[in-house]
């Protein structure tokens, strides 16, 4: 089960509420959602110097096996701004070749190309899902395994993908 591996969750600071909600999902005994959060490995205080925060992000990403990137209206622009931590995270994710599940905070089940970081939007094999525990967990199991196999494929997939409605229906969503 891939989601039990170290999962890095990347997001724009404005989307901190969504990250906190994912932590609450994990703690709620009535919601089947679990992941080993790479953010829990080290603490970076908001008052830290940027160099210290980047060092901590580097440590977390070095321990991560897959990524959930929370997608909102500000994701693309923040990921393109070299002065943001999201820019650093996205570039490090690509360099490390980590599988990326885009969780659309607006609930969309489709790829939202105009909101995705440019460096991960076209030639990088990714999966877009709605921001719901069941489908995110499913993607961490299904897509992450496919991503790993894709690395050695003769004709590897590239670009953003999404699950058909039938997958959501099978999950009761």
Q: What is the mean pLDDT of residues 9-19?
A: 91
The predicted structure's pLDDT at residue 41? 43
Give residue-wise pLDDT tens across range 130-161.
999 999 999 999 999 999 999 999 999 999 99
CB-count exposure of residue 18 (10 Å: 0-12, 13-18, 19+):
middle
Q: Please say whether the dihedral angle defined by the alpha carbons of residues 102, 85, 58 and 34, taken in this order, is positive or negative.
A: negative
Percentage of the chain exceeding pLDDT 90: 62
CA distance 173 to 166: 9
Give residue-wise pLDDT tens across range 82-103.
999 899 999 999 999 999 999 9
Angle at 60 between CA 81 and CA 153, to 5 degrees: 85
Q: How many CA atoms lie within 13 A of 76 on its CB side?
A: 10
Q: What is the mean pLDDT of residues 110-125?
A: 94
113 pLDDT exceeds 90? Answer: yes
CATH number for the domain whose boundaries are 2-170 = 3.40.50.11200
Tell which wins on pLDDT, 25 or 113. Answer: 113
């Amino acid at each position: 089960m891939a989601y039990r591996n170290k999962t890095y969750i990347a997001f724009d600071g404005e989307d901190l509420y969504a990250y906190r909600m994912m932590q609450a999902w994990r703690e709620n005994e009535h919601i089947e959602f679990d992941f080993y959060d790479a953010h829990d490995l080290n603490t970076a205080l908001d008052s830290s110097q940027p160099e210290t925060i980047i060092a901590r992000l580097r440590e977390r990403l070095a321990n991560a096996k897959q990524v959930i990137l929370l997608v909102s209206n500000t994701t693309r622009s923040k990921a393109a701004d070299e002065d943001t931590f999201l820019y650093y995270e996205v570039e490090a994710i690509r360099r490390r070749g980590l599988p990326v599940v885009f969780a659309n905070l607006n609930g969309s089940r489709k790829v939202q190309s105009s909101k995705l970081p440019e460096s991960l939007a076209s030639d990088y094999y990714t999966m877009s899902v709605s921001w719901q525990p069941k489908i995110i967990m499913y993607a961490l199991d299904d897509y992450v395994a496919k991503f790993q196999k894709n690395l050695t494929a003769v004709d590897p997939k590239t670009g953003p993908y999404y699950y058909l409605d039938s997958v959501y229906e099978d999950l009761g969503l």
